[in-house]
């Protein structure tokens, strides 16, 4: 029998990290308590889950044993687990006898609540279908709360739509309604829109009804620039579930591009609600017929604004050498496997990996997903790419040349196995930076939907363009500094924080908090070479522009104090006074004493000994090898200077690259 697994955090958490270490996909320990992650919950909420007691998704419900193991690791036993069968009966998860006894009061409380309410199935029960003709008979009412142009498509599915604003309906009017689609936006910091506030208050009163015979779907509208993204839709989704209604399909959370992302969901939602008969039974076997009923013309109209179908482009086969990084965490062995094969040149790198895994080595491990999945990034021939979005022909030498692919995991991350890496370092820095949006009180305009803040189009376009990043996980690994300094928060987080700090809608306190992170010791000053980010195509160009702006503002704000300010200030003065730009000036001219030394006795001796690339005779450059014979440290690079303030070699390389492209 299918079961619903619920887990929440009781009071008394000591933030010991034991649960997160055991199952980080479900538990997240904050400074004060432990949260159940949004992606692990049906309602998409992010808190202790103590009040809503939302079920975990089916993916994590299937891993109940790991959740129980995390609960076992908790030293204060505040992780409560309850399992409900389809009939609504709650039973404690399998735990040790002592823990089960301690958790019993909380589980009994959930069981009593479930018994008092009408049970809600986690999946719509598919009733026997007597064909579309029988399904179309009887009551076919569809209630659209808030309203949408999707109401025009509903009659195609044999539905009689009623479009209602939420302030035009009472909470009791939902009793007896078989089909409801909710389309709700979020205002401010997770607030209901004005038209929905009264209905929401009534829904949370003691007089709120139960809706055991209602089937529903939720389309939530929001803006990812705000902390509580699509919160109103998440709240309604959770409320209908608690009221005993049946969720027909997963909620969709739409950003500002809702005109592109919502039509496919609306088309699918209409097919699902059309499969509910007048008794409230869901006929899953009628879905294909209902989708076909709309016809190609109707489907294209419903999906207007959605992404067009990409034509199938084919290219001839090419002989390819594919070299793939392998790592076994058990033995600690690593290396590369090499395959010689003939592949269609139009195949994506991700398709090649799937082919190798399916036909050559089933143990090959990599992150699979949609072409634009930001977590699938790889290093291919030295380029950071999303493997589903690049074809192997892009790595060929000429039209008929050899096709050699070297596929490695992303740098800057710990490798789990083969090409799969752990993105925890990026997620940890993102969470610690507290990147959420804190809006300021500002002028707005009174529209039909309520009061709306105003912004001129160029400013809005620039804000969105400045954060047009295909994958933040990919961008995090673009910096050459990140592998050497794990405390550095990275270019992805910095770019995001800087862009948000420049948003005119943010409050002064919010901007100050973001700038404090940006200008901190592990912020933009820790980035040794922004040009390494700039090399990564359009993504790198967008991010590096943000980083350069952030670094310039930081140096100006701090009046060129500290190591980085001294580098810029005294190096500039040295070049002005000496008129010579070479490696000696670059390495030594970052401190006051170094500047004076280079002026009077540093430059000339090193020019005579050949340690310079200022355009002198070629033989001068060769002298360094003769003088440095037997001293490996002097071969091919400057000798170490005593007064150099640079500690890591990658920082030296970064300075040289910035000042002398011939290095």
| CATH code, domain with 527 | 1.10.1060.10
Q: Which of 116, 148, 173 is the last residue of a domain?
A: 116
The bridge status of strand 160-164 relative to strand 141-145 is parallel
- Which candidate, 251, 169, 182, 170, places its Cα nearest to that of 214? 182
Q: In whole angstroms, what is the distance from residue 7 CA to residue 95 CA?
A: 13
| Greater pLDDT, 98 or 14 | 14
Token couple for 52: 């809503």
Tell me: do 295 and 184 sit in the same domain: yes
Domain that holds residue 382: 317-422
Instruction: Give pLDDT tens digits for 35-94.
Output: 998 888 888 788 888 888 888 888 888 888 889 888 888 877 889 988 875 444 444 443
Tell me: do 388 and 363 sit in the same domain: yes
Confidence tier at 30 by pLDDT (50, 70, 90):
confident
Query: Would you say residue 121 lies in a domain?
Result: no
Question: 537-557 vs 562-578: helix axis angle to the nearest 10?
Answer: 90
Number of domains in the chain: 5
Confidence tier at 614 by pLDDT (50, 70, 90):
very low
Q: What is the CA radius of gyration of the chain?
A: 30
pLDDT value at residue 403: 85
| CATH code, domain with 148 | 3.40.50.360
Instruction: Give pLDDT tens digits for 96-127.
Output: 333 333 333 332 232 233 233 333 333 343 44
Tell me: do 156 and 250 sit in the same domain: yes
**Largest CA-CA distance found in the chain, in angstroms, rounded:** 99
Instruction: Give pLDDT tens digits for 331-368.
Output: 999 999 999 988 888 889 999 999 999 999 999 999 99
Confidence tier at 146 by pLDDT (50, 70, 90):
low
Tell me: do 242 and 204 sit in the same domain: yes
Lowest mean pLDDT among 43-57, 82-96, 132-146, 534-548: 82-96
CA contacts within 13 A on the Cβ side of 462: 12
Confidence tier at 157 by pLDDT (50, 70, 90):
low
Question: DSSP secondary structure string, 233-275?
Answer: HHHHHHHHHHTTPEE-S--EEE-TTHHHHHHHHHHHHHHHHHT
**Is 162 in contact with 142 (CB distance < 8 Å)?**
yes
Query: Would you say residue 311 lies in a domain?
Result: no
Q: Is residue 619 scored above 60 in pLDDT? A: no
| CATH code, domain with 111 | 3.30.70.20
Query: Would you say residue 449 lies in a domain?
Result: no
Query: Would you say residue 588 lies in a domain?
Result: yes
Q: Quick one: average pLDDT of 423-438?
A: 86
* DSSP-assigned beta bridge partners for residue 79: 9
Q: Is residue 417 scored above 90 in pLDDT? A: yes
Tell me: do 542 and 600 sit in the same domain: no
Tell me: do 362 and 245 sit in the same domain: no
Tell me: do 283 and 172 sit in the same domain: yes
Q: Quick one: average pLDDT of 174-197?
A: 83
Q: Is residue 239 scored above 50 in pLDDT? A: yes
Q: Quick one: average pLDDT of 216-223?
A: 87
Which residue has tokens 């295909």?
A: 470
Q: Is residue 220 scored above 70 in pLDDT? A: yes
- Which candidate, 615, 572, 570, places its Cα nearest to that of 594? 570
Query: Would you say residue 81 lies in a domain?
Result: yes
Query: Would you say residue 451 lies in a domain?
Result: no
Tell me: do 332 and 407 sit in the same domain: yes
pTM equals 0.45
Containing 427, the helix (H) or strand (E) segment is: helix 424-432
**Is 501 in contact with 546 (CB distance < 8 Å)?**
no
pLDDT value at residue 326: 94
| Greater pLDDT, 617 or 55 | 55
Mean pLDDT computed over every residue of the chain: 74
Query: Would you say residue 446 lies in a domain?
Result: no
Q: Which of 302, 329, 361 is the last residue of a domain?
A: 302
Q: Is residue 183 scored above 80 in pLDDT? A: yes
Query: In this prediction, what percent of the chain has a pLDDT beyond 90?
Result: 13
Q: Is residue 576 scored above 70 in pLDDT? A: no
Tell me: do 596 and 492 sit in the same domain: no
């Amino acid at each position: 029998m299918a079961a619903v697994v619920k887990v929440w955090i009781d009071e008394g958490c000591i933030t010991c990290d034991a649960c997160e270490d055991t199952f980080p996909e479900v538990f997240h320990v904050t400074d004060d308590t432990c949260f159940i992650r949004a992606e692990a919950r049906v309602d998409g909420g992010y808190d202790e889950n103590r009040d809503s007691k939302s079920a975990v998704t089916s993916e994590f419900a299937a891993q109940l044993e790991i959740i129980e193991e995390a609960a076992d690791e908790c030293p204060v036993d505040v992780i409560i687990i309850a399992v409900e069968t389809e009939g609504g009966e709650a039973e404690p998860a399998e735990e040790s006898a002592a823990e089960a006894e301690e958790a019993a009061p909380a589980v009994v409380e959930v069981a009593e609540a479930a018994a008092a309410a009408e049970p809600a199935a986690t999946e719509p029960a598919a009733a026997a279908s007597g064909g579309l003709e029988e399904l179309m008979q009887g009551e076919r009412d569809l209630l659209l709360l808030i309203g949408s142009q999707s109401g025009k498509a509903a009659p195609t599915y044999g539905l009689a739509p009623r479009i209602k604003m939420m302030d035009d309906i009472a909470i009791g009017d939902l009793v007896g309604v078989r089909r409801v689609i909710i389309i709700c936006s979020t205002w401010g910091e997770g607030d209901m829109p004005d038209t929905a506030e009264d209905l929401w208050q009534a829904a949370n009163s003691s007089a709120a009804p139960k809706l055991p015979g209602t089937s529903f779907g939720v389309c939530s509208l929001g803006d990812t620039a705000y902390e509580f993204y699509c919160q109103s839709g998440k709240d309604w989704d959770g409320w209908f579930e608690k009221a005993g209604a049946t969720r027909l399909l997963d909620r969709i959370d739409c950003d500002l591009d809702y005109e592109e992302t919502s039509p496919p969901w609306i088309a699918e939602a209409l097919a699902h609600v059309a499969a509910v008969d007048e008794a409230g039974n869901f006929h899953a076997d009628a879905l294909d017929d209902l989708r076909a009923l709309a016809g190609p013309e109707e489907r294209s109209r419903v999906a207007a604004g959605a992404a067009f179908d990409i034509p199938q482009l084919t290219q001839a086969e090419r002989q390819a050498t594919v070299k793939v990084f392998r790592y076994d965490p058990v033995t600690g062995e690593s290396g590369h496997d090499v395959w010689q094969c003939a592949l269609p040149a139009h195949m994506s790198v991700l398709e090649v990996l799937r082919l190798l895994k399916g036909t050559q080595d089933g143990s090959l491990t990599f992150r699979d997903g949609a072409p634009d999945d930001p977590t699938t990034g790889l290093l291919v021939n030295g380029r950071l790419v999303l493997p589903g979005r690049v074809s192997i022909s892009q790595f060929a030498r000429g039209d008929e040349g050899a096709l050699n692919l070297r596929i490695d995991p992303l740098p800057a991350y710990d490798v789990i196995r083969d090409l799969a890496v752990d993105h925890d370092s990026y997620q940890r820095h993102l969470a610690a930076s507290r990147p959420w949006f804190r809006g300021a009180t500002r002028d707005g305009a009174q529209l039909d939907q309520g009061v709306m803040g105003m912004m001129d189009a160029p400013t809005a376009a620039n804000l969105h363009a400045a954060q047009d990043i295909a994958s933040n996980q990919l961008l995090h690994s673009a910096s050459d500094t990140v592998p050497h300094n794990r405390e550095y928060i990275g270019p992805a987080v910095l770019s995001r924080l800087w862009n948000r700090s420049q948003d005119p809608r943010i409050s002064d306190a919010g901007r100050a908090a973001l700038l404090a992170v940006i200008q901190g010791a592990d912020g933009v000053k820790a980035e040794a070479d922004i040009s390494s980010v700039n090399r990564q195509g359009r993504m790198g160009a967008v991010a590096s522009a943000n980083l350069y702006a952030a670094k310039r503002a930081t140096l100006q704000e701090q009046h060129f104090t500290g190591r980085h300010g001294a580098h810029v200030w005294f190096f500039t003065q040295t070049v002005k006074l000496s008129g010579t730009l070479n490696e000696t000036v670059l390495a030594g001219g970052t401190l006051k004493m170094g500047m004076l030394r280079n002026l009077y006795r540093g430059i000339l001796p090193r020019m005579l000994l050949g340690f310079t690339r200022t355009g002198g005779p070629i033989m001068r450059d060769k002298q360094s090898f003769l003088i440095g014979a037997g001293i490996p440290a002097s071969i091919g690079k400057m000798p170490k200077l005593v007064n150099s303030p640079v500690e890591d070699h990658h920082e030296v390389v970064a300075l040289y690259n910035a000042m002398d492209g011939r290095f």
